[in-house]
Amino acid sequence: MTLFEKIVARQIPSEIVHETEDVIAFRDIAPKAPTHVLVVPKRVIPRIAEAKADDAPLLGKLLLAVAEVARKLGLEQGGYRVVINNGRDGGETVPHLHLHVLGGRPLAWPPG
């Protein structure tokens, strides 16, 4: 069971900022920006590279959840970044697809 599955199952506490039947969003425990939220599908897709065509509806729900989280947290006006890490070299540390929503300060490009 991944860390995120344990959060979904409420076995590990987290600060949930948004939740639907299919998606949960919670604050990152090691934030890289003033606002750093993870948007996670409740059904496990290990990583974006392993998503299948029949995952498309859930992937769409993830993006809609990102927009809702940004709205709820007041990030729309100043802007925000959405990041998906894939694989070790991409910075992936939990094998459960998740989107990082980062905001609350200017974000440099390219990222580290």
- Check 18, 96, 98, 100 and give the catalytic one: 98
Determine the Cα–Cα distance for residues 104 and 87; give it in Å rounded to an integer: 27
Active site residue 98: yes
Q: Kindly state the greatest CA–CA separation across the chain.
A: 37
Residues known to be catalytic: 98
